[in-house]
């Protein structure tokens, strides 16, 4: 009997001989173990005895097993210095069984220290040294080999399987004396049942131990078998579910087919449009039937595609992929929507290879086509004579080219057919002599030359009828009309589509429009191309448009999403823009510019009467007898409420008036508030407008214009292409002879200001501002700065056309003479005092007319613009002064003799220059 330190092992830990465990121990215990290690020379041993009652963790006194295991402490890991409260880790290696010589009673805090206790080694008993009987060893070997084989089989490939195989070879080779030891090793590593292990620990007779191990292994083998069987059963039930799902899917497909068959039968029986059966079908079945119908539709469309064409090849490829991919998967949805897009485009088909539709061809062939087109334009738009004339020319060209292309097409087709007949004859002759040759692939039939008509670009302020002219052209040509809004398009993909790899990708605006049009020859209106985003990291949307608009390239336009060339050569493109400034040069080069500059009041009244009022009456459910808008009232709306180049706000205002009258009429008709239908007054006069539309926005605007020193009125064209009047204000402030320019001015307009001041300084003596030619009017008699400002500072302004207005402003400021507020001017000046022509005359004159300016000063070279572009009524109503020099401009602005010229001074100055 000897004494050993007893280490109680927490429930359910057990250490068997020949096994190893690593367990955490508390600080006190760790320290005790550490001192044990320090005291002993070799690796110290202790008795690891399991605590058998599971409740000891909850504070009950622990009960130790009678048997334990002598263990060698092979390793002790101390907690780190940084965190000393951590537990120790001790690794024990079981050596042999040990029995407590007498029961050891522990207090509840037992695991915190190791008592020394007398023990008896199992090996000292006589039984331990005995060799087990042959039968026991054979039974043990058999059972362990069987178990190991099962474990190896179930663990699949890898290191575990190898470990079991190693065990097997050990079992086979083990000597009879060592069989007990092997039983310990195997039970330690295979058996996990606590009670079994505890019992096994108490068995010190090798014979008995082998028998017990045999029993345990047999039990384990059957457990493994049962577990496998259960797993297999679960597996089977899952695959059964899958099978059931698959069969259900098939059943649904069969059901759909039967439904389709029934539907077609009932349609045949009851005639098309009958829905006698539909009541009995469930909504849920409808969905499936619709799905099947869609697929059939896609299939039909693919079959109708021209054989051998790119689109057909692509569709067939995708269709096959679609069939392979299970329904309901994401990929299936992606392919399906792609196929839906691809098949919904108007591709040339086997039956109609020519891309221009029969209806539009018929319209073009009609001899009265141009007369009808003219009628159509007249019916839709008032005035715009020049533009209509240009559009008729355009339509004539489109017609001629299209007809010529058709003729060419017919000729090519005839040739092709002839060649085909010849080839067939030759094949017949060949067949009689040789083996039949393979059929040749069908090539795309000959195609009409693309119609390369000019691309029209309508430029003008909002509401001048650009979009509606495009619609009229489409109506005249009997083609579908589609509008593609490009305002704010920054991403090339919006025009060309996103590649299919993107989530939620789709085709671009062009392909979408083509699908909506349903024909390959629509009129496509590219609206607001001046608002197209510039080149950025999303690509260049303008560049994509260039390809669309280029007749040389657009017969094979590739949308990123479809990835199949689309023929756009039959489509007619019309662009619209408010101004040309932001349109890129290459894009402008492709277009023929048609300018719509706005309407005179007279034209507006006509447009309102003929088009806008009837349209609004229709929209609001009234007829002409219920609203009588007098000319005065219309003019008042146009002048005081909606001062614009176009007629959009006018239309809106008329809409408000009509709605007001609609309410009024309804009240009278219903007899509300003592009103009767007889007392209803349809007339709307100018005085009623304030009650309907509120206070006039522009009323008295002219009165605010004042005749002041240093202020003159210039003419401008604003961003949206609208002409108007802008004051040029200047004041003198104490300073040192500098010029300050404000109002968000660009480089050119700033230079123009400096130019004007230089001219004025040079002519200061002649104008009587200074007493000698050497004096600087900004320094003598007092040193001043001139501050010139153009209001609406938030709006960017540029261009040279404010030259004469600025000169007049400086002259007015320095001389004290003033320019009357009914005069406005535009014109560029040179350093030598010449007035050179400027653009936008029509818009500016119309703007001046709207602002009730009665006299405009313009460069002489712009005379022809006024004569050609400005309506007669306006020319009659306004006075035009065409000037060649600044002196003439000053005289026109200030009035004859108002400025005290020292005439003799001029030649002197000239010669000095
Ligand atoms: N000459 C005209 N005759 C009859 N109606 C006209 C005329 N000009 C414009 N309209 C009408 O004015 C309205 C606005 O025209 P539209 O939409 O074509 O303007 P837009 O020039 O395209 O403007 P935006 O630049 O804002 O797109 C339409 O209802 C149109 O029918």
Per-chain mean pLDDT for the chain: 82
C-beta of 604 in contact with ligand 1 (< 6 A): no
Which residues have a Cβ under 8 Å from the Cβ of 885 and sit 6 or more positions away? 833, 834, 835
C-beta of 719 in contact with ligand 1 (< 6 A): no
The CATH classification of domain 601-693, taken from the options 1.10.8.60, 2.40.160.40, 3.30.2010.30, 3.30.70.270? 1.10.8.60
What would the mean pLDDT of 82-105 be, rounded to a whole number? Answer: 83
How large is the angle between the packed helices 369-380 and 466-477, nearest 10 degrees?
A: 150
Pick the catalytic residue from 801, 834, 896, 911: 801
Q: What CA–CA distance (Å, rounded) separates 211 from 209?
A: 5
Q: Whose C-alpha lies nearest to ligand 1, atom 25? A: 462
Q: In which order are the strands placed within the sheet that holds 723-734?
A: 739-742, 784-789, 723-734, 711-717, 823-825, 855-859, 879-883
What would the mean pLDDT of 296-320 be, rounded to a whole number? Answer: 87
Give the distance (Å) from ligand 1 centre to CA of residue 398.
24
> What is the assigned CATH class of domain 353-434+444-460+470-594?
alpha beta
In this prediction, residue 350 has a pLDDT band, given cuts at 50, 70 and 90, of low
Give the distance (Å) from ligand 1 centre to CA of residue 612.
10
**pLDDT at 656 (0 to 100):** 92
**pLDDT at 273 (0 to 100):** 42
In this prediction, residue 730 has a pLDDT band, given cuts at 50, 70 and 90, of very high
Give the distance (Å) from ligand 1 centre to CA of residue 588.
23
pLDDT over 80 at 497, yes or no: yes
Q: How many other C-beta atoms lie within 10 A of the C-beta of residue 435?
A: 6
How large is the angle between the packed helices 385-433 and 369-380, nearest 10 degrees?
A: 140
Please indicate if the annotation marks 466 as binding a ligand.
yes
Domain ranges for the chain: 2-124, 134-236, 285-344, 353-434+444-460+470-594, 601-693, 705-912
Q: Is 159 known to be catalytic?
A: no
Q: What CA–CA distance (Å, rounded) separates 906 from 909?
A: 5
In this prediction, residue 439 has a pLDDT band, given cuts at 50, 70 and 90, of very low
What would the mean pLDDT of 780-784 be, rounded to a whole number? Answer: 84
Residues of the chain above pLDDT 90, percent? 15
Q: How many other C-beta atoms lie within 10 A of the C-beta of residue 775?
A: 15
**pLDDT at 446 (0 to 100):** 46
* ipTM score: 0.96
Model confidence pLDDT, tens digit, residues 225-279: 887 777 777 777 677 777 777 887 787 788 778 777 777 665 654 444 444 444 4
C-beta of 466 in contact with ligand 1 (< 6 A): yes
Please indicate if the annotation marks 655 as binding a ligand.
no
Model confidence pLDDT, tens digit, residues 864-895: 989 888 888 888 889 999 999 999 999 899 88
Residue 632, helix vs strand vs coil:
helix
Q: Whose C-alpha lies nearest to ligand 1, atom 30? A: 465
CATH of domain 705-912: 3.30.230.10
**pLDDT at 43 (0 to 100):** 81
In this prediction, residue 433 has a pLDDT band, given cuts at 50, 70 and 90, of low
Q: Which atom of ligand 1 is nearest to the CA of 464?
A: 21
Give the distance (Å) from ligand 1 centre to CA of residue 870.
20
Give the distance (Å) from ligand 1 centre to CA of residue 653.
15
Q: How many other C-beta atoms lie within 10 A of the C-beta of residue 674?
A: 6
C-beta of 600 in contact with ligand 1 (< 6 A): no
pLDDT over 90 at 655, yes or no: yes
Burial 736-747 (b: 16+ CB within 10 A, else e): eeebebebebee
Q: Which residue would you say has higher pLDDT here, 457 or 241?
A: 457
Please indicate if the annotation marks 714 as binding a ligand.
no
Model confidence pLDDT, tens digit, residues 555-573: 888 889 988 998 888 888 9
Q: Which residue would you say has higher pLDDT here, 432 or 816?
A: 816
> What is the assigned CATH class of domain 2-124?
mainly beta
Please indicate if the annotation marks 803 as binding a ligand.
no
Residues of the chain above pLDDT 70, percent? 88
**pLDDT at 912 (0 to 100):** 41
Residue 540, helix vs strand vs coil:
coil
**pLDDT at 431 (0 to 100):** 64
pLDDT over 80 at 300, yes or no: yes
Choosing from 459, 465, 487, 606 the residue with most ligand 1 atoms within 8 A of its CB, the one to mutate for a pocket test is: 465
pLDDT over 50 at 613, yes or no: yes
C-beta of 862 in contact with ligand 1 (< 6 A): no
Model confidence pLDDT, tens digit, residues 371-424: 888 998 998 888 888 889 888 988 888 888 878 888 887 888 788 788 888 877
Which residues have a Cβ under 8 Å from the Cβ of 720 and sit 6 or more positions away? 461, 462, 578, 579
pLDDT over 70 at 140, yes or no: yes
**pLDDT at 699 (0 to 100):** 64
Please indicate if the annotation marks 461 as binding a ligand.
yes
If phi > 0 it is left, if psi is from -120 to 50 it is alpha, else beta; for residue 481 that is beta
pLDDT over 90 at 787, yes or no: yes
pLDDT over 80 at 286, yes or no: no
Instruction: Tell how strand 823-825 and strand 828-829 pair up.
Output: unpaired
Return the bridge partners of 591, or none.
455
Q: Which range is least confidently modeled, 381-385, 534-538, 585-589, 814-818?
A: 534-538
- Distance linking the first and last C-alpha atoms of the chain: 135
Please indicate if the annotation marks 630 as binding a ligand.
no
Q: Which residue would you say has higher pLDDT here, 126 or 448?
A: 126
Supply 312's token pair.
Answer: 């057909």
Which residues have a Cβ under 8 Å from the Cβ of 337 and sit 6 or more positions away? none
Please report the DSSP string for 865-901 in residue order. HHHHHS-HHHHHHSEEEEESBHHHHHHHHH-TT-S--
**pLDDT at 709 (0 to 100):** 87
Which residues have a Cβ under 8 Å from the Cβ of 842 and sit 6 or more positions away? 595, 597, 598, 723, 865, 869, 870
What would the mean pLDDT of 749-755 be, rounded to a whole number? Answer: 92
Give the distance (Å) from ligand 1 centre to CA of residue 459.
12
**pLDDT at 288 (0 to 100):** 64
Q: Is 801 known to be catalytic?
A: yes
Choosing from 457, 467, 483, 651 the residue with most ligand 1 atoms within 8 A of its CB, the one to mutate for a pocket test is: 467
Supply 50's token pair.
Answer: 């399991």
Q: What CA–CA distance (Å, rounded) separates 542 from 497?
A: 14
């Amino acid at each position: 009997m000897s004494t050993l330190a007893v280490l109680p092992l927490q429930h359910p830990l057990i250490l068997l001989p020949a096994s190893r465990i690593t367990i955490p121990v508390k600080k006190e215990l760790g320290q005790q173990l550490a001192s044990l290690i320090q005291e002993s020379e070799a690796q110290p041993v202790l008795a690891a005895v399991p605590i058998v009652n599971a409740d000891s963790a909850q504070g009950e006194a622990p009960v130790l097993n009678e048997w334990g295991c002598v263990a060698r402490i092979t390793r002790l890991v101390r907690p780190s210095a940084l965190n000393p409260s951590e537990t120790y880790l001790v690794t024990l290696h079981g050596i042999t069984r040990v029995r407590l010589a007498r029961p050891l009673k522990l207090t509840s805090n037992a695991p915190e220290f190791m008592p020394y206790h007398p023990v008896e080694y199992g090996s000292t008993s006589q039984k331990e040294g005995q060799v087990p009987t042959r039968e026991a060893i054979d039974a043990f070997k058999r059972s362990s080999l069987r178990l190991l084989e099962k474990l190896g089989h179930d663990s699949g490939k890898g290191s575990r399987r190898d470990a079991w195989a190693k065990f097997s070879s050990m079992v086979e080779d083990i000597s009879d004396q060592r069989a007990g030891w092997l039983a310990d090793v195997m039970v330690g590593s295979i058996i996990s049942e606590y009670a079994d292990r505890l019992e096994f620990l108490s068995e010190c007779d090798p014979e008995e131990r082998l028998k017990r191990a045999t029993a345990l292994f047999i039990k384990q083998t059957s457990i493994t078998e049962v577990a496998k069987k259960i797993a297999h059963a679960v597996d089977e039930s899952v695959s059964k579910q899958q099978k059931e799902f698959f069969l259900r899917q098939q059943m649904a497909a069969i059901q759909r087919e039967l439904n389709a068959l029934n539907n077609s039968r009932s349609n045949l029986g009851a005639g098309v449009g009958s829905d006698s059966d539909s009541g009995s079908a469930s909504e849920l079945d409808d969905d499936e039937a619709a799905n099947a119908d869609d697929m059939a539709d896609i299939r039909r469309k693919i079959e109708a595609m021209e054989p051998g064409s790119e689109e057909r090849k692509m569709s067939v490829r995708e269709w096959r992929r679609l069939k392979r991919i299970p329904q309901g998967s994401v990929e299936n949805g992606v392919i399906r929507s792609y196929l839906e897009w691809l098949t919904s485009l108007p591709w040339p088909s086997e039956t109609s290879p020519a891309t221009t539709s029969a209806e539009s061809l018929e319209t073009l062939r009609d001899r009265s086509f141009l007369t009808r087109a003219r009628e159509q334009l007249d019916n839709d738009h008032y005035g715009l004579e020049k533009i209509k004339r240009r559009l008729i020319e355009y339509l004539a060209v489109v017609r001629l080219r299209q007809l010529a292309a058709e003729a060419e097409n017919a000729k090519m087709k005839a040739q092709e057919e002839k060649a085909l007949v010849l080839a067939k004859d030759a094949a017949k002759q060949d067949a009689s002599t040789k083996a039949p040759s393979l059929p040749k692939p069908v090539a795309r039939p000959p195609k009409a030359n693309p119609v390369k008509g000019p691309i029209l670009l309508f430029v003008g302020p909002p509401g001048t009828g650009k979009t509606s002219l495009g619609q009229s052209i489409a109506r005249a040509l009997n083609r579908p009309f589609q509008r593609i809004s490009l305002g704010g398009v920054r991403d090339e993909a919006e025009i060309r589509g996103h590649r299919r790899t993107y989530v939620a990708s789709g085709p671009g605006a062009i392909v979408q429009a083509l699908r909506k049009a349903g024909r390959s020859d629509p009129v496509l209106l590219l609206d607001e191309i001046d608002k197209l985003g510039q080149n950025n990291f999303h690509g260049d949307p303008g560049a994509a448009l260039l390809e669309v608009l280029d007749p040389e390239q657009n017969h094979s336009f590739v949308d990123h999403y479809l990835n199949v060339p689309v023929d756009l050569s039959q489509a007619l493109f019309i662009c619209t823009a408010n101004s040309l400034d932001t349109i890129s040069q290459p894009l402008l080069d492709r277009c023929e510019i048609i300018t719509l500059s706005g309407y005179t009041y007279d034209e507006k009244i006509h447009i309102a009467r003929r088009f806008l009022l009837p349209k609004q009456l229709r929209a609001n459910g009234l007829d002409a007898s219920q609203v009588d808008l007098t000319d005065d009232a219309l003019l008042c709306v146009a002048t005081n409420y909606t001062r614009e180049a176009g007629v959009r706000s006018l239309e809106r205002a008329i809409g408000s008036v009509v709605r007001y009258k609609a309410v009024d009429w309804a009240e009278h008709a219903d007899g509300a508030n003592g009103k009767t239908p007889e007392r209803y007054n349809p007339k709307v006069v100018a005085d009623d407008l304030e009650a309907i539309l509120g206070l006039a926005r522009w009323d008295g605007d002219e009165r605010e214009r004042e005749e002041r020193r240093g202020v003159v009125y210039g003419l401008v064209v604003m961003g949206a292409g609208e002409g108007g009047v802008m004051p040029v204000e200047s004041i003198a402030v104490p300073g040192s002879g500098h010029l300050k320019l404000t109002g968000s001015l660009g480089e050119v307009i700033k230079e123009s200001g400096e130019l004007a001041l230089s001219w004025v300084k040079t002519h200061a003596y002649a104008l009587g501002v200074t007493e000698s030619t050497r004096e600087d009017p900004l320094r003598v008699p007092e040193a001043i700065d001139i501050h010139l400002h153009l209001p609406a500072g938030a709006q960017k302004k540029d261009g040279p056309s404010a030259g004469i207005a600025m000169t007049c402003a400086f002259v007015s400021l320095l001389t004290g003479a003033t320019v009357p507020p009914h005069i406005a001017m535009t014109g560029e000046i040179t350093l030598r005092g010449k007035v050179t022509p400027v653009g936008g005359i029509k818009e500016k004159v119309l703007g001046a007319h709207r602002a009730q300016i009665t006299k405009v000063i313009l460069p002489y070279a712009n005379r022809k613009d006024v004569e050609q572009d400005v309506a007669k009524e306006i020319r009659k109503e306004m006075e035009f002064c065409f000037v060649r020099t600044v002196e003439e401009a000053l005289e026109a602005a200030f009035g004859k003799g108002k400025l005290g010229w020292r005439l003799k001074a001029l030649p002197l100055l000239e010669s000095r220059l």
